[in-house]
Amino acid sequence: MEKKKTVDVEIGQRIRRSREALGYSRETLSDKAELSNSFLSAIELGTGSCTAEYLQRLCRALGVSADYILFGMERQGDLTPIHAMLSGLDPQYLPLVKQLLSVYVQSISLSKE
């Protein structure tokens, strides 16, 4: 039983860190994931656990993979952290970000030649 409690605490900490990295309040995330604020609080503290459906909602709202939430690791080449940064951005800025990334990637390609 103690091992499950430790796992729940670790999962809750990863959810909290992801939420804070996006600058979301607990209320903002609970709204985006369609969960009650008190339930999200219990998950983050490791005193509550969630179903696969709730995990999916949290992953979508945070822009992270279930691998990260459950196991603390991302797949090689996983763009989840970048997606998380961009998901909180006002959509009007996305064309500018796309343009900036395009120029940056092109400069990297040129520097390798």
φ, ψ for residue 48, nearest 5 deg:
-130, 155
In CATH, the architecture of 2-111 is: Orthogonal Bundle (1.10)
Enter the tokens of residue 77: 């080449």
Tell me the pLDDT band of 89, cut-offs 50, 70 and 90: confident
Collapse the DSSP code of 50 into the 3-class scheme (helix H, G, I; strand E, B; otherwise coil) and give the result: coil
At residue 66, does pLDDT exceed 60? yes
Which whole number is the average pLDDT over 66-91?
77
pLDDT value of position 16: 95
Global pTM reads 0.65
